[in-house]
Structure 1
Amino acid sequence: MRSLGTIFHLGDESGVLRTSIAITMLIAAFGIGFGLLSGSFSILFDGAYSLIDAGMSLLALAVVRLIHSYTHITSATRRLRERFTFGFWHLEPMALGLNGVLLIGVSAYAFFNAVSLILDGGRPLAFDLAILYAVITLSACTIAAALEMRANRRIRSDFIALDARAWIMSASITLALLLAFCIGAAIEGTAYGWVAPYVDPAVLALVCLIIIPLPVRTVKQALADILLVTPPELKAHVDAVAHDAVRTHGFLSFRAYVAKVGRAQQIELYFIVPADGPARRIGEWDALRDEIGNAIGPDNPDRWLTIIFTADLEWAE
């Protein structure tokens, strides 16, 4: 049985995501409970938002484990490799895209509910409980974001980067809630007390307007990965390496096909060689592949590189 230190180890991607999920679940339960007690729709939304975020983090963790199992061959994962010969990298942009779309959808729904509450005359709120919730949650979100950003300096995971941004987003939301609750508590019982019922839905509407555009970039990148849109920088680099190989080894031309799928790079290079060129041993062709592969970049489990030599252009197109 693994210890808690192993399960929540911040030195690897899975451990960081597990830690994030645990904190998120606690905040979600805390938010939903305090939202019901204080009568705050914005706190209730914050808790529900955290619950969805936890669900997406669980999905991300599952995808990470699948990718890791594919790139690290063991007897337990050999069967998976036989059934999914192209790996699981394609699941990463799907999960990221789904996460972004869900967060946008939930925020849009909450915005319309907030507008409806404002039109209905607002909502009374227990500001003391709301302020207590905001202070505790803001501290938790800030700590979680700092831990993930620090861990991701070494891990460099898109999932952790997205999750860290989500924590920063949550901290910003909670800070806005805290300020609004403090203002509401200050004006309650004064000549401006009539404004107090509008504080909760108004700040919720404002927060939603800020949140809705934030995942758009992630969704856009995920869609590009799903559609196998060619990354310009990677394509330019591969083309430069291929041009050098053509010039150095006397090939006729080349065709390069490049895509980024989540963390993975998929590269196919076809070199058109003269049909009447000098014969080479298989080992020499393999040495050429190694040379070109090293020029493209260091080998790693998340790079799918195919290099083919042919005299028939049709094989390359």
Structure 2
Amino acid sequence: MDKTNEGKDWLEAELEDTLDEDYELELSEPALSLEIRKIYKNAHPETIDRRTYFHELIRLQSELIKLQDWVAYHKKKIVVVFEGRDSAGKGGVIKRITQRLNPRIARVVALPAPTDREKTQWYFQRYVPHLPAGGEIVLFDRSWYNRSGVERVMGFASADQVEEFFNDVPEFERMLVRSGIILIKYWFSITDEEQQMRFLMRIHDPMKQWKLSPMDLQSRVRWEQYTKAKEEMFARTNIAEAPWYIVEGNDKKRARLNCIDHFLQQIPYEPVPHEDVALPDRVFNPNYERAVLPPELYVPRKY
């Protein structure tokens, strides 16, 4: 076989490996209730076909790499806030954004509930250390908007604390923008019926049950309270310097593509100079003898 065909076979193998990684993210647990599958299928129109979805996803991810290079080269700072109802698809989009990026440049912040000490701090204080330095992209999987959402609805914050938050957050975000941070805020929107279906699927799927928390289950009971909280949040925090963008999330695949495409449109990134990369020749030392390692150091070849 000539070298051209060898190169082609190698490239095809690499592409197949890449697609396998994508398919892994899409797999459903076989133990998922067949009845839930049937209901879900009947409740949804035909989604975007798989070939088109992966073609567009890989194209958009290649653009994200160009964006990453631009951010690193120009020492830009980007913050992306992902908010929305439980199970709205925030995590799925974040996974696709970061999947092929350098984790030293693009990182995800998903903070747990505040500690007793953090509860006594200035509210924004625990978020500030996670803000980006030059050449970094930070994706907040939930953010300071917890105060206007779950903390408010579940009674973890008083009415005075919520009001103080609404008074402070516009200026806080203006300060971030003035400091040179590009701030983008996404709200993932799904219908009542869609959230119910996704919760049922998580209950019946052993690989997804960890995603359900007592707070998630309470969000079903308090759907209308969350809706009112969201509406006031939009009314009081949709500022010109950092507007909200709503992603329709009932169709997960379309939501991912639409959000990534929109995110790329918000950043004026351009190609940056790259040094040519050449693989250097290996240095062979005729006096070096490779040591034979004991077999117990090796992972068993079970597969």
In the superposition, the TM-score normalised over structure 1's length comes to 0.26
What TM-score results when the alignment is normalised by the length of structure 2? 0.27
Where is the helix percentage greater, Structure 1 or Structure 2? 1
Higher relative contact order (CA closer than 8 Å, sequence separation 6+)? 2
